Amino acid sequence: MNLRLLLTTLAAVVWLATQCDAGSPKRLVLLGQGPDGHPPRTHEYMAGLRILAKCFQEVRGLEITTIRVDAPSRDVEKVLAEADGIVLFLAEGAKWTQQDSQRAEALAKLAARGGGMAGLHWAIGTKQTKPIQPFLNLFGGCHGGADRKYKVLEAVAQVADHKHPIANGISHFKVKDEFYYELKFIQPKGSITPVLQVTIDDRPQTVAWCWERPDGGRSFGFSGLHFHENWGLPEYRRLVAQGVLWTLKLPVPEKGLAVPVAEDDLLLK
């Protein structure tokens, strides 16, 4: 066999291998919980995850499992062991990731094999200080400790990086939300890419970010989504859905992912 034929054959083998790999569905696990004591229509974790799951209905190669972590008889660690990526939308997520040693180990193994990590609103937070650094090592950003800050305001949310795939199809938009701000981010400074910013206390604050981790995986976080009604904003749905796709290393359409929902989808059930 001559060299050109050999190289052509090898290239074909490599291409076939990548196509076979691409044909295997990515396994995404959505992790939520029931009410956490906040008023109705805020921190509606399971209802929000139902909407997020619907945003992926046209995405090929994605297998979704939704788990309510406070429901009995759910082996979360076993599901994590088989996952390619996760979305956390629950109370004090940074604390939750570390309060059980088997859970913490399962998440560390998921990250080590390049799994996607995404956290929304209070799922990026903790009242305690101890879980902050382990959570930063997984997600890159955290709303944690006694000095954490948050504020309800009406603002213009501004795309910080129009060239990033997560921002595809998203322009500046107005929103009322409770944003966590002055977040703690992984060091060294500059390794985090801001995706969405809001001006709070006369300063631009990063409220959505992404991070290409040293282990080869990707992480995404968003501090908004206090109010359930904000799932009605196509910009919010697109931001979160595209952030999750990016963590899974799945393509994001250049003009943005179609994220249609009906009015009934926004109802609390």
pLDDT in tens, 14-41: 323 433 345 689 999 999 999 999 999 9
Count how many domains the chain has.
Answer: 1
Q: Note whether residue 207 is domain-resident.
A: yes
Predicted confidence at residue 139, as pLDDT, reads: 98
Q: How far apart are CA 93 and CA 128, in angstroms?
A: 11
Q: Note whether residue 7 is domain-resident.
A: no
Q: Note whether residue 101 is domain-resident.
A: yes
For residue range 141-185, list pLDDT tens digits in order.
999 999 999 999 999 999 999 999 999 999 999 999 999 999 999
Predicted confidence at residue 73, as pLDDT, reads: 63
Q: How far apart are CA 145 and CA 139, in angstroms?
A: 16
Could you list the residue range(s) of the whole structural domain that residue 262 is in?
A: 25-266
Q: Note whether residue 17 is domain-resident.
A: no
Predicted confidence at residue 74, as pLDDT, reads: 66
C-alpha distances (whole Å) from 235 to each of 25, 160, 163, 173, 228 are: 26, 14, 16, 8, 14
Low-confidence ranges of the chain (pLDDT < 50): 1, 3-21
Question: Nearest-CA neighbor of 156 among 140, 142, 170, 141?
Answer: 170
Q: Note whether residue 218 is domain-resident.
A: yes
Q: How far apart are CA 89 and CA 31, in angstroms?
A: 6
DSSP string, 8-47: HHHHHHHHHHHHHHHHSPEEEEEEE-S--SSPTTBS-HHH
pTM of this structure: 0.90
CATH number for position 137: 3.40.50.880
Q: Note whether residue 19 is domain-resident.
A: no
Q: Note whether residue 20 is domain-resident.
A: no
Q: Are 80 and 106 in contact (CB under 8 A)?
A: yes
Q: Note whether residue 3 is domain-resident.
A: no
First to last CA, the chain: 65
